[in-house]
Chains A and B, each alone.
Chain A
Amino acid sequence: MFYRENGQFKTTYRADQQILPIAQDRIALGLLLAVAFLVLPAVASDYWFTNILIPFLIFSLAAIGVNILVGYCGQISLGSGAFMAVGAYSAYNFFVRIDGMPLILALVLGGVCAMLFGILFGLPSLRVKGLYLAVATLAAQFFADWMFLRVQWFTNNSPSGSVSVSNLQVLGMPVESPLSKYLFCLSLLVVIALLAKNLVRGAVGREWMAIRDMDVAASVIGIRPMFAKLSAFAVSSFIVGMAGGLWAFIYLGAWEPAAFSVDQSFKLLFMVIIGGMGSIMGSFFGAAFIVLLPIFLNQFLPAATSMFGVEISTAGVSHAELMIFGGLIVWFLIVEPHGLAKLWAIAKQKLRLWPFPH
């Protein structure tokens, strides 16, 4: 009834090629941004900012990065946690060692370091494919774990690799309160998501997708596999590295190498698979699912069990959480292997015909 494109004529190529060709989509996105930038800061509490919204924003950013590599270019990576760690620790080094280093520049430089690290560990992808590559990328993960624990220079000679930052400022404004942190993450996310969206619908993105669908065929029609794969690794690990920097600087404040363990890599991959491979939108869905599920279970389980008169211990809750988390993921993969983004697409298709489906 409301969601249809009848009567929206496109008279220029520009209009035809815009990101959201349907007017209703543009209005919806505008509303969403207005809610995120104006309404949420007014109504959300500090608990919401620190425990739900900021992790969601940062993981969305990381999931976009992983999605570019896994979803668009088809190179499965289990080393995303390492890219986050490299981003975080190199941003830390730039921030601490150089006086007056602006926060944003430090984060970007951290992203650049993560990019170089990503290209280095992306080199095997030129030769090794599929599951072999997935396991090979674990090398990056364990190497980074070891490097930040043992090589003291990277952590400014702190013994266990635990470091902290304080006095964060952007353009002279302090980023200390949950609200300002939220707005900072949100602004960065919007900018990078827009860049990523434009990248994947441009020439580079098409090359990535061609490589993903069949790399031999792609190289036959003149796409350079080396350039396509390494550029995907570079862009992906840059974004993931930025997200790592944000996670460390904004969310954690003080962290150690264990914050970027192999579990983090698995989580990011879950976000991409559950959200939908090869979809920027899906990255947001996946991040929301993985961030919200443990919080929901944590609140819901003790309440549910006390309703039946059973007291459940903290350890019991965490084990039950593991079980439900694992079970839900399996269930989800069985019900919708193409992820939440696919459900979204189906819903949109249904909405276009509603209320008169043929």
Chain B
Amino acid sequence: MAFFLETLLGGLMAGMLYSLVALGFVLIFKASGVFNFAQGAMVLFAALAMARFSEWIPLYAGVQDPFVVNLAAFVLAGVVMFAAAWLIERLVLRHLVNQEGTTLLMATLGITYFLEGLGQTIFGSSIYKIDIGMPKDPVMILESAFEGGILINKEDLYAALIAAVLVALLSLFFQKTGTGRALRAVADDHQAAQSIGIPLNRIWVIVWCVAGVVALVAGMIWGSKLGVQFSLTTVALRALPVVILGGLTSVPGAIVGGLIIGVGEKLSEVYIGPMVGGGIEIWFAYVLALGFLLIRPQGLFGEKIIDRV
């Protein structure tokens, strides 16, 4: 029982991290109908920027205090992501308005290649580390309830907390600010939003910026967990089943989907994996998502797809 709970909690916390990446997909799809395959490359790009800035700042600016350095690196990386978002809107999306979904999908795949190349050209292609001072030692909880207690990775716990705070901030931003209201209006209906005077282009820049910040936070957490390296882009492929399971247009869907996928992955790896040779995490997540889709083709919380002839 204790082992089961341990796996479950591990899965929930991993799921929180997946939903962080999935959130980036959902934000952009909602606001502009673009399925942004470049989210993984954005995570890598942001993490690379942050890792290298936190290396360069003590070197050139002479600041040593780790908190200040990390904060400055985070802000600088955020500025880089804003610039990237602005350029993507300006140079790519503006010219592809009203194209089909597949064309846009392919364009973001092109952006993926470009960002991967650019990030490694500017920031280098070795393995870097981000150290934001997250404690790495595991803790025991519930020792009174089970013999031996449940082992929890503190780092995962903090990461899940950061993710939860980010999600709360984002929903505040969407529900309470004027810009957030405009974003929701655009997500609802492009034409109606435009006709009441919401500037679509600016909204798209904003939403890509927000996705950039989400990518930065995801990159920071994943980077401090796994090290910043090229394989970080595969995080996007792990987050895709989360997006379709939760529904492409739903923020709560991204979170619930992330939790389901996280738990499903961990439990399947532990309980089914040994029977078939292990390593089933990735495709199991997809098959799980597929199973949900067969019952609800628009994902758990997605808008119902209505076909009219």
Chain A positions within 8 Å of B, measured between CB atoms, are: 70, 76, 124, 127-132, 134-136, 138-139, 142-143, 145-146, 149-151, 214-217, 220, 262, 266, 269-270, 273, 277, 315-316, 319-330, 333-334, 337
Are A132 and B118 in contact, CB atoms less than 8 angstroms apart? Answer: no
Measured between beta carbons, the chain B residues less than 8 angstroms from A129 are 297, 305
Q: How large is the interface on B (under 10, 10 to 19, 20 to 34, 35 or more residues)?
A: 35 or more
In the assembled complex, B241 has its CB within 8 A of some CB on chain A: yes
Given contacts A273-B102, A326-B112, A327-B110, contact A139 B244 (CB under 8 A): no
User: Which residue among A150, A214, A270, A323 has the maximum number of chain B CB atoms within 10 Å of its CB?
Assistant: A323
Q: Please provide the 3 A-B residue pairs with the shortest distance between their CB atoms, ordered closest to farther.
A: A326-B113, A322-B117, A326-B114
Measured between beta carbons, the chain A residues less than 8 angstroms from B191 are none
CA distance A82 to B299 in the complex (A): 24
Are B277 and A325 in contact, CB atoms less than 8 angstroms apart? Answer: no
What would 11 A/B residue contacts be, using CB atoms closer than 8 Å?
Answer: A135-B286, A136-B289, A143-B283, A146-B280, A146-B282, A150-B278, A151-B277, A216-B307, A325-B117, A326-B109, A329-B113
Are A132 and B277 in contact, CB atoms less than 8 angstroms apart? Answer: no
**Interface segment, B93-101, B148-156, B264-272?**
B93-101
CA distance A333 to B103 in the complex (A): 7
Are B111 and A330 in contact, CB atoms less than 8 angstroms apart? Answer: yes
Given contacts A138-B286, A330-B111, contact A269 B106 (CB under 8 A): yes
Are B106 and A146 in contact, CB atoms less than 8 angstroms apart? Answer: no
Q: Contact partner of A326 among B111, B244, B248, CB < 8 A?
A: B111
In the assembled complex, B72 has its CB within 8 A of some CB on chain A: no
In the assembled complex, B195 has its CB within 8 A of some CB on chain A: no
Are A136 and B244 in contact, CB atoms less than 8 angstroms apart? Answer: yes
Measured between beta carbons, the chain B residues less than 8 angstroms from A322 are 113-114, 116-117, 120
| Shortest distance between the CB of A209 and any CB in chain B (Å) | 15
Given contacts A127-B297, A135-B244, A323-B121, contact A334 B109 (CB under 8 A): no
| Shortest distance between the CB of A336 and any CB in chain B (Å) | 10
In the assembled complex, B80 has its CB within 8 A of some CB on chain A: no
CA distance A319 to B44 in the complex (A): 14
Interface string of B251-290 (1 = CB under 8 A from A): 0000000000000000000000000111110110011011
User: Which residue among B91, B117, B120 has the maximum number of chain A CB atoms within 10 Å of its CB?
Assistant: B117
Are B241 and A135 in contact, CB atoms less than 8 angstroms apart? Answer: yes
Measured between beta carbons, the chain B residues less than 8 angstroms from A323 are 113-114, 117-118, 121
CA distance A324 to B110 in the complex (A): 9
Are B114 and A330 in contact, CB atoms less than 8 angstroms apart? Answer: yes
| Shortest distance between the CB of A152 and any CB in chain B (Å) | 8
CA distance A319 to B278 in the complex (A): 34
| Shortest distance between the CB of A226 and any CB in chain B (Å) | 14
Q: Contact partner of B109 among A138, A316, A329, A337, CB < 8 A?
A: A329
Measured between beta carbons, the chain B residues less than 8 angstroms from A270 are 106, 109
Measured between beta carbons, the chain B residues less than 8 angstroms from A319 are 116-118, 120-121, 125
Are B106 and A333 in contact, CB atoms less than 8 angstroms apart? Answer: yes
| Shortest distance between the CB of A313 and any CB in chain B (Å) | 10
Measured between beta carbons, the chain B residues less than 8 angstroms from A136 are 244, 286, 289-290, 293
CA distance A273 to B96 in the complex (A): 14
Measured between beta carbons, the chain B residues less than 8 angstroms from A131 are 35, 101, 105, 244, 248
| Shortest distance between the CB of A333 and any CB in chain B (Å) | 5
| Shortest distance between the CB of A23 and any CB in chain B (Å) | 36
Measured between beta carbons, the chain A residues less than 8 angstroms from B35 are 131, 134
Instruction: For A152, give the chain B residue with the smallest CB separation.
Output: B277
Are B283 and A146 in contact, CB atoms less than 8 angstroms apart? Answer: yes
| Shortest distance between the CB of A184 and any CB in chain B (Å) | 32
Are A315 and B309 in contact, CB atoms less than 8 angstroms apart? Answer: no
Given contacts A132-B293, A220-B309, A323-B118, contact A143 B287 (CB under 8 A): yes
In the assembled complex, B107 has its CB within 8 A of some CB on chain A: yes
CA distance A322 to B121 in the complex (A): 10
Measured between beta carbons, the chain A residues less than 8 angstroms from B103 are 273, 333, 337
| Shortest distance between the CB of A282 and any CB in chain B (Å) | 14
CA distance A269 to B37 in the complex (A): 14
CA distance A223 to B103 in the complex (A): 27
Q: Contact partner of A330 among B110, B118, B307, B309, CB < 8 A?
A: B110
User: Which residue among B102, B105, B125, B279 has the maximum number of chain A CB atoms within 10 Å of its CB?
Assistant: B102
| Extra A-B contacts (17), CB below 8 Å, given A127-B297, A135-B241, A319-B118 | A131-B35, A136-B244, A136-B290, A146-B280, A146-B282, A215-B307, A220-B309, A266-B109, A269-B106, A273-B102, A319-B117, A319-B121, A322-B117, A326-B112, A333-B96, A334-B107, A337-B96
CA distance A131 to B120 in the complex (A): 29
Instruction: For A136, give the chain B residue with the smallest CB separation.
Output: B290
| Shortest distance between the CB of B90 and any CB in chain A (Å) | 12
Measured between beta carbons, the chain B residues less than 8 angstroms from A326 are 109-117
CA distance A215 to B118 in the complex (A): 41
Measured between beta carbons, the chain B residues less than 8 angstroms from A337 are 96, 99-100, 103
In the assembled complex, B237 has its CB within 8 A of some CB on chain A: yes
Measured between beta carbons, the chain B residues less than 8 angstroms from A321 are 117
